[in-house]
Amino acid sequence: MYARQHRPQSHLGRTGRTPADSTGRMTFTAALAFAVLAVPIIFAGPGEASGGTIADDTAVIVRELPGAGDAPETLVQELGGTVTAQLDIINGFSAVIPADAVSNLVAHPQVDSVTPDASMLLSAWQTSDRSDEGAMQRINANVIQSTQYWKNGFTGAGVGVAIIDSGVAPVDGLTAPGKVVNGADLSFDSQNVNLRYLDLYGHGTHLAGIIAGRDDAAPATPKIRDLQTHYAGVAPGAQILNVKVADGTGTADISQVIAGIDWVVKHRNDQGMNIRVLNLAFGTDGIQDYVLDPLAYAVEMAWRNGIVVVVAAGNDGNSSPLRNPAYDPFVIAVGADDAKGTYGTGDDTIPSFSNCGTATRSVDLVAPGQSVISLRVPGSYVDEFYPSAAVGDRFFRGTGTSQAAAVVSGAVALIVDQRPGITPDQVKTLLTSTARTLRNASDVCQGAGVIDLKAAYKAPTPDEVQTWEQSTGLGSLETARGSYHVVQDGVTLVGEQDIFGIDWDGVSWSGVSWSSGDWTGVSWSGVSWSGVSWSGVSWSGVSWSDDLWASHEWH
């Protein structure tokens, strides 16, 4: 009774090592910028996760039922396995166990689920000898010069940035009234009312801090001197819309991500919100033409509705093509830059993990993505696996194209604050036309270069309209997943169906108005922002590959 399997990509990279190794290992499928998202998606965050197959000895994540005590851990030892870490945040632990003993562990009455672990690149969460080069103080004041906007009164105030990720935790820097608004929770965690919206993984909070974090005690419009004592993200006045798709182990399916994008588009102006930016720190290795791909179609629909979509390129290495949906030419595909904490680009390099793309479709630009210091969720999944990446009690150091995408999302919020009528096409052209070229990087790996907000602030608004062929979304949902799949009770979600067990019909889906409140037959028209979320909709009775969600208790 394997629980959902998470084969991630992330924006961290991947190691191919197991928790038994000194480097550790994690699962996170979708693509949150760290390397999370159980879906065949990848989070660009902490690194990339890959794999998740059962070998002679296999790495697993075990979630226990309440009151289980040490019985499951004791069984692991009796079966010849080893408990590698306690994961209190998800009421469970990680372990390495003989593959032929997994069924015995699954059958234990106090075990809720057993999920195959997937290897993940540690570069995004490792410590660095250059202790402060990735500090937001240096990124804001030196590297991208977002303080040029601040000193002229533009902090992103009145601009909403939607983050489709692993949730956002209420940590200092994200707790000011109205700073974070919880939208839909489409994650597996949503079945437990106590876990909804919360970031048990640690990735979404890290990115939210980069984009719009601001210490409660910091001035609404920080000055450079304030950064000596207070934390501030790129757009400290912007608002965060938290749309959660990945659970505490980073698990999600691509259909959840597409649903999240759809939800953002439909509710972008609800409750006084002004959602103008969408941050996607994930991607799949699906390779079908973007003109057919459902995920590409979803991001294009957001783009056409006035939302600038910023996507992490991926953490598979410089020779790798862009992840889906970064490969869609309409969106802003972001690679990572190691800026060494300085404005000058003479010493900048493109980290080896950052996907560059191809001559046909490469990254649009790059932004700081090496050892970026942002907000930490104590006790979260990544916090438990990468203790050396903690910076004091409040912060965490993360590396990946996820972090780079978050920097750009914050930059877009500043631009929209300055120029409220600017279109997504104009934002993209403004950023690429004012970026600074890196001396030591190829055109494919750097795109237009590293973002420069000082130059963007002074430049006129370009008159630009992209004329790429538009996606129809009529392709295969399964092909969009690539090699990543979720597994529930030993049943792998494959084929043309979503997590509700509803058959995917590209023709009818692509014809949805994106304003009616319906998606693949599931109505969101009764969604309330006050306490009751879309995640409260009952999944009971919804069949998934002959496996009923109602038969499994999501503790």
Is residue 13 in some structural domain? no
Helices (H) and strands (E) in the chain, counts: 14, 24
Is residue 527 in some structural domain? no
3-state helix, strand, coil in the chain (%, to 5): 25, 20, 55
Is residue 84 in some structural domain? yes
Amino acid at 25: R
Most confident of 38-42, 108-112, 113-117, 371-375: 371-375
Q: Which residue has the higher pLDDT, 154 or 10?
A: 154
Count the domains in the chain. Answer: 1
Does the annotation mark 230 as catalytic? no
Confidence of residue 483 (pLDDT cuts 50, 70, 90): confident
What SS3 state is found at 414? helix
| 44-93 confidence digits (pLDDT tens) | 433 332 223 334 677 788 888 888 889 999 999 999 999 887 777 667 88
What SS3 state is found at 161? strand
Does the annotation mark 185 as catalytic? no
- Active-site residue, from 11, 108, 203, 552: 203
- List b or e across 223-247, with b for residues whose CB sees 16 or more CB atoms inside 10 angstroms: eeebbeebbbbbbbbbbbbbbbbbb
Domain range enclosing 76:
53-116
Q: Is the pLDDT of residue 493 over 60?
A: yes
Is residue 511 in some structural domain? no
Is residue 97 in some structural domain? yes
Is residue 353 in some structural domain? no
CATH number, residue 84: 3.30.70.80
Does the annotation mark 247 as catalytic? no
What is the pLDDT of the chain when averaged over all its residues?
79
- Active-site residue, from 165, 262, 337, 348: 165
Is residue 72 in some structural domain? yes
Confidence of residue 355 (pLDDT cuts 50, 70, 90): very high
Q: Which residue has the higher pLDDT, 22 or 366?
A: 366
- Determine the average pLDDT of the residues in 472-485: 91
Q: Is 323:8 a contact under the CB 8 Å cutoff?
A: no
In the structure encoding, which two tokens stand for residue 451, read together? 């973002």
Q: Is 162:420 a contact under the CB 8 Å cutoff?
A: no
Q: How far does the chain reach from its first CA to its final CA, in angstroms?
A: 15
Is residue 106 in some structural domain? yes
CA-to-CA dists, residue 248 to 62, 192, 379, angstroms = 12, 12, 11
| 283-333 confidence digits (pLDDT tens) | 899 999 999 999 999 999 999 999 999 999 999 999 999 999 999 999 999
- Determine the average pLDDT of the residues in 394-420: 96
- Active-site residue, from 402, 471, 533, 535: 402
Q: Is 203:43 a contact under the CB 8 Å cutoff?
A: yes
- Torsion sign (Cα): 437, 441, 445, 451: negative
In the structure encoding, which two tokens stand for residue 266, read together? 């439909």
pTM exceeds 0.75: yes
Amino acid at 470: Q
